Amino acid sequence: MPVIAVIGAQWGDEGKGKVVDLLAQKAGVVVRFSGGDNAGHSVVNPYGEFKLHLVPSGIFSPQAVCIIGNGVVINPGVLIGEIEQLNKRGVDTSRLFVSDRAHLIMPYHILLDGLEEKARGSKALGTTRKGVGPAFTDKAARLGIRAGDLLDKGALLERLRPILDYKNTILTKVYGVSPLSLDEVYGQYCQYGERLAPYIRETTIMLEEALNRGELVLLEGAQGTLLDPDFGTYPYTTSSSPLAAGACLGAGLSPTKIDRILGVFKAYCTRVGGGPMPTELKDETGNLIRERAHEYGTTTGRPRRCGWFDAVAARFSTRVNGFTGAAITRLDILDIMPRLKICVGYEMDGQVIDYFPASVAVLARCKPVYEELAGWETSTADIRQFSKLPAKARQYVKRLEELIGCPVNLVCVGPERGQTIQKTPIL
């Protein structure tokens, strides 16, 4: 059985959780490989409706081992809360494991995230202020504390003391706020360690063993390609790589082991936070999509910016990820539209370009060049076969397929597990 990476192909919130939940029914292992609890995956399945922030969406499949990989940064309090919530609702978490190499979000990360955003004023990045960015910064700065450190209280104290001294200097001298108490932070993280100890493991061995047994392994992305620190709309990006390449690093798996890379696209576009979005609709149509689709962030409740499908960005996403297939979610949201637009190029300073520019200043000047298609104006929510979709809906999907540049494997027509059409096999 193969390894399939499930990757956000736009600005996140594409419905990766739903796709992973669906595929996980046959999986041996599901690994979440990037981001932190700034990501939120909504899953609707026979257990009910869930909002997951750290736990992989495979947790509902009784045979699947779920791993929070080394590429994720973990707020231990949030993870414990999520485990308790799942248990309360009858979901077994005994197959959940946390990489001992995963970095931890510390209280100073959360404080600094808020203070740094405030200091940016009108140029705020729109972070979720959950400490995710500062935790990744410390990972690169070699100032991080990892899940494995919780298992040795003496070593934890030795590591925490100088780091907290340094952070307190920044908090007091740069931002003029009160310092954090070593005793309190240490005490709290010791408690977290006791609670999380059964979950913390060397997870690359588990992954290798699953591959040797021939099990299906899913690599679950968070956020989306256009938020990647290298290829996204920098600096309005996230701080870890949501790309297929990031899946290898964040799970502890060789690139040669990945068999399929599934890009998850919404049938239109959304983004939260700052930064340019060429197809954003600041009009009635944008509001209609937002309200019909309830486009409000899973983690923050912030309204998402909505717009038409951006095929220039989509093709770029296919290029940098090497998608072998795509899932198109939320086709049903477009059921009421009399006409649909797809952005097939950008007009930049009087010239039409067909690539996604690196500079946000240039991207902000890009005006979408649209192609128009007729809408189907009928409900698709109960359709389960591609051939049964209205002809105009099929045309829309086929046009997206041509523009994205890879076969469409799945089309989703509702949030529930079953509201999925298999257009072509993933494998």
Among 8-16, 116-124, 145-153, 206-214, the segment contacting ligand GDP (CB under 6 A)? 8-16
Q: Does 58 bind ligand GDP (CB under 6 A)?
A: no
Residue from 245, 414, 423, 426 touching ligand GDP (CB under 6 A): that is 414
Residue nearer to ligand GDP on the CB measure, 29 or 293: 293
Of 3, 10, 11, 17, the one binding ligand GDP by CB under 6 A: 17
Select from 115-123, 146-154, 314-322, 413-421 the region that touches ligand GDP (CB under 6 A): 413-421
User: Any alpha helices (H) in 256-298, and if so which ranges?
Assistant: 284-292
**Among residues 4, 7, 11, 15, the one that binds ligand GDP under rule CB under 6 A:** 15
Q: Residue 7 or residue 147: which is nearer to ligand GDP going by CB?
A: 7
Q: Contact region for ligand GDP (CB under 6 A) — 39-47, 69-77, 194-202, 361-369?
A: 39-47
Q: What are the DSSP calls for 17-58, one per residue?
A: HHHHHHHGGG-SEEEE-S--TT--EEEEETTEEEEESSS-GG
Name the minimum Å distance from CB 39 to ligand GDP.
Answer: 6
As measured in angstroms, the least distance from the Cβ of 346 to ligand GDP is 25
109 is catalytic: no
- For residues 370 and 308, the answer to whether their CB atoms sit within 8 Å is yes
CA angle 133, 81, 199 (to 5 degrees): 85
Minimum Å gap between C-beta 7 and ligand GDP is 10
143: which 2 tokens? 């100032």
By beta-carbon proximity to ligand GDP, the closer residue of 139 and 330 is 330
Query: Does position 37 bind ligand GDP by CB under 6 A?
Result: no
Q: Which stretch binds ligand GDP (CB under 6 A): 36-44, 166-174, 182-190, 237-245?
A: 36-44
Place of tokens 């990945």: 258
Min. distance of Cβ 25 from ligand GDP in angstroms? 16
Q: Are 89 and 97 in contact (CB under 8 A)?
A: no
For the CB of residue 310, give the shortest distance to ligand GDP in the complex, in Å. 17
Q: Which of 13, 21, 113, 310 is catalytic?
A: 13
Note every long-range contact of 378-387, with CB atoms under 8 Å and residues 24 or more positions apart, other chains counting.
Answer: 378/335, 379/332, 379/335, 380/331, 380/332, 380/335, 380/413, 381/332, 381/335, 381/413, 381/414, 381/419, 382/413, 383/413, 383/421, 384/418, 384/420, 384/421, 385/421, 386/411, 386/421, 386/422, 386/423
Stretch that binds ligand GDP, among 78-86, 199-207, 271-279, 406-414 (CB under 6 A): 406-414
Query: Which two three-digit tokens encode residue 96?
Result: 């959940």
Identity of the residue, 66 or 413, whose beta carbon is nearer to ligand GDP in the bound complex: 413
The three-class DSSP label of residue 80 is helix
Which residues face 303 on adjacent strands? 296
3-state secondary structure of 285: helix
Q: Does 250 bind ligand GDP (CB under 6 A)?
A: no
Residues 37, 41, 53, 228: which is the catalytic one? 41
Element (H, E) at 192: helix 182-196
Q: Does 422 bind ligand GDP (CB under 6 A)?
A: no
Is the Cβ of residue 321 or residue 346 nearer to ligand GDP in the bound state?
321
Using CB under 6 A as the binding criterion, the count of chain residues that bind ligand GDP stands at 21
- In the chain, the amino acid numbered 394 is R
Report if residue 44 touches ligand GDP, rule: CB under 6 A.
yes
Residue 53 Cα to chain centre, angstroms: 10
Q: Is 333 in the site for ligand GDP (CB under 6 A)?
A: yes
Within residues 168-227, the interface with ligand GDP by CB under 6 A covers none
Residue type, 403: L
Told to check if 16 binds ligand GDP by CB under 6 A, we report yes
d(CA 404, CA 400): 6
Calpha distance 10→306 (Å, rounded)? 12
Task: Give yes or no: 13 in active site.
Answer: yes
The minimum distance between CB 337 and ligand GDP, in angstroms, equals 14
- Determine contact, residues 262/4, Cβ cutoff 8 Å: yes
Query: Which of the residues are catalytic?
Result: 13, 41
Q: Which residues bind ligand GDP (CB under 6 A)?
A: 8, 13-18, 39-42, 44, 298, 329-330, 332-333, 412-415
